[in-house]
Structure 1
Amino acid sequence: MTPPLRLGTRGSKLAMAQSRGVAEALTAATGRAVNLVEITTYGDVSNEPLATIGGTGVFVNALREALLDDRVDLAVHSLKDLPTTPAENLTVAAIPERADPRDVLCARDDLTLAELPPGSTIGTGSPRRAAQLRALGLELEVVPVRGNVDTRMAKVTSGELDGIVLARAGLSRLGRLDAVTEVLDPLQMLPAPGQGALAVECRTADEELVGTLAVLDDPMTRAAVTAERTLLAVLEAGCSAPVGAYAVVAEGDAPQSDELYIRGAVVSSDGAISIRKSVTGPVEEAEQLGRTLAGDLLDDGAGTVVGAELKVPKKENVS
């Protein structure tokens, strides 16, 4: 009898919901049983701001260690948390179809951003969201918050905050879309590269499992996030950076006629500098399109913003 696959996951409600979804999809597609194995990461036990503890990798390193130590067979990550540099001996074998990557507002009294009075307090743990909120010029007070979705929402219901900004995909996976008071247009709030997408990772040497997991892969999602994450890599920025990117694929009528459109933004922490660009090209050139867009942003001065604000020392993970 084939033993169940061991799927490594963080223990938060959102991570467990994401991993259960992947496990159920894998079982439905292959008939293979999957057991969840909870792994604690440094990002789960630290209350420090993400930018302080390094951002990129703080939610994934312990999961990768569990893979390399053969304590789990595969791991599920939020793709936006995954470093852009490939991990040695590990492979992202599948990127399932992406959920809606947009950000949302959850505010008191069902208010939208435009309806919130000047001076209203908006919580977010993301420098990217904070920078773009300030760039809107709505005179909102943006304050840092950490914690799971319930902890953050409680700050609104208690009156401590007037609103919080979260990822729509996470609320959807938790069945909490009823709390959303506004879905933010990407023209206002460009999502994080890879937001809404998941990465299913396993050991490169486990070729049979790599092939098995490929059934979960969505090529259009992989192309879109490849462009976004290439942009991030060229800018040498991390998941806690004030960098937004959003790529979409328009399917053409003829073979090899699909087009990829990607927008990118780099915004200074005070919102005073906002550099936004976009490019379009064949979907099979996704990586090059990301590089081209990054180059356009750098040509317009993005390097100064990135260099000044994103060179944050990283700390090691603990498990």
Structure 2
Amino acid sequence: MSDAPIRLGTRRSALATAQSQQVADALAAASGRPVELVLITSEGDVSRASLSELGGRGVFATRLREALLAGECDVLVHSLKDLPTAPAPGLVIAATPPREDPRDVVVTRTGVPLHELAPGSVVGTGSPRRIAQVRRRNPWVEVRDIRGNIDSRIGRVRLGELDAVILAAAGLARLGGSLHDLHLEPLGLAEWPTAPGQGVLAVEIREDASADLADAVAALDDRRARVEITAERAVLAGLDSGCQAPVGVHAEFDGHELRVRTVVYAPGGGDRIGDDRAIPLISGYAGEKGSGDGADAADRADPVARAERTGTVIARDLLDRGAAGLAT
């Protein structure tokens, strides 16, 4: 077994390095080797264009994955919600550590809830999903497409440039810092499902990584998080084939049952199509249209495989109900 440092590739932002350091500490404990951060600049970190103009998912991951494949680092840490659903050739997501709070949070100076903000109030977010959700929650506010790190977004609220921003609770928790002068309104997942994989980190390695490294990374994997994100990303992958509308999806797995809530939104926030179902992951495929006797025996015994199958079925049902038409 090598005792050389493990090189962990990460974006340069304060949030990325903070969450990568958490993984680095856990990986050092699991491997018995020191772990050092390798800071990598992605296109998403240097461009000021909106995420929709840059191409959305993958804009933060491409350069990191190139560095991993080139041997510039041994392992990567991503925010899972930033990753495309298609597998990256030569790479594997070897661990998804325990999930942080997956909710979105409204940050304001006054503590006025989002739905009570006065007409003309300015709410900042760069996410098409969040834009649609804000417009549904309070159609009288102005939504401003913004970029920047968490500190800069919060700073714009403190300065009065924005009345509110929508942020991920997980990012706030991982970054830390004092928000004593501001008010936080967590948004319930039942009515405000978030991005697939939100709150989960992805630890990625090369397929040909050494057995020692692969075993150490695998020790960080959390079964509950793996089942949940598999279902969420399967929904997104299925919708990507025929639907460009914003989507929120959140799965909860309690060890026996998987509940998946999905909403596809019209970009303007006016219309939506939703799905909310609970699937037992013990035996059979009760409630899953188009499955049952044809399901492989391996699927029946593997909650991750069942979660993927469930997500695929949900996406197909949403497309059958007209989800693709919401984008037009």
Structures share a fold, TM > 0.5?
Answer: yes
Cα separation, 1, equivalents of 2:320 and 2:203:
35
Aligned to 2:286: none
**Percent identity over the alignment?**
49
Of 25-34 and 260-269, deviating more is 25-34
Consecutive unaligned residues in structure 1, runs of 5 or more: 252-257, 309-319
Aligned to 2:95: 94
2:265 and 2:273 in contact (8 A); partners too: yes
Aligned to 1:205: 208
2:109 and 2:183 in contact (8 A); partners too: no
Aligned to 2:67: 66
**TM-score, with length taken from structure 1:** 0.90
Deviations 1:120-143 (A, max 9, x none): 110001000000111124411111
1:133 and 1:189 in contact (8 A); partners too: no
Cα separation, 2, equivalents of 1:286 and 1:300:
21
Q: 1:108 to 1:231 in 2, by over 3 A?
A: same
Consecutive unaligned residues in structure 2, runs of 5 or more: 282-302
Greater RCO (Cα-Cα under 8 Å, separation 6 or more): 1
Cα separation, 2, equivalents of 1:20 and 1:28:
12
Q: Secondary structure at the match of 1:186?
A: coil
- How many residue pairs are counted as aligned between the two chains? 300
Aligned residue among 270, 273, 291 for 1:272: 270
Aligned to 2:299: none
Aligned residue among 248, 257, 260 for 1:259: 257
Root-mean-square deviation (CA, aligned residues, Å) is 1.7
Aligned residue among 228, 232, 236 for 1:232: 236
The 5 A counterparts of 1:1-319 are 2-176=3-177, 178=179, 179-208=182-211, 209-236=213-240, 242-251=246-255, 258-283=256-281, 284=303, 285-306=306-327, 308=328
Cα separation, 2, equivalents of 1:174 and 1:180:
17
Report the Cα offset of residue 180 of structure 1.
4.5
Cα separation, 1, equivalents of 2:225 and 2:129:
22
Q: 1:305 to 1:176 in 2, by over 3 A?
A: farther
Report the Cα offset of residue 237 of structure 1.
7.0
Report the Cα offset of residue 188 of structure 1.
3.2
Deviation above 3 Å: which 4+ runs of structure 1?
Answer: 176-180
Cα separation, 2, equivalents of 1:281 and 1:188:
20
2:116 and 2:138 in contact (8 A); partners too: no
2:245 and 2:266 in contact (8 A); partners too: no
1:84 and 1:229 in contact (8 A); partners too: yes
Cα separation, 1, equivalents of 2:111 and 2:138:
21
Report the Cα offset of residue 172 of structure 1.
0.3
Of 202-211 and 94-103, deviating more is 202-211
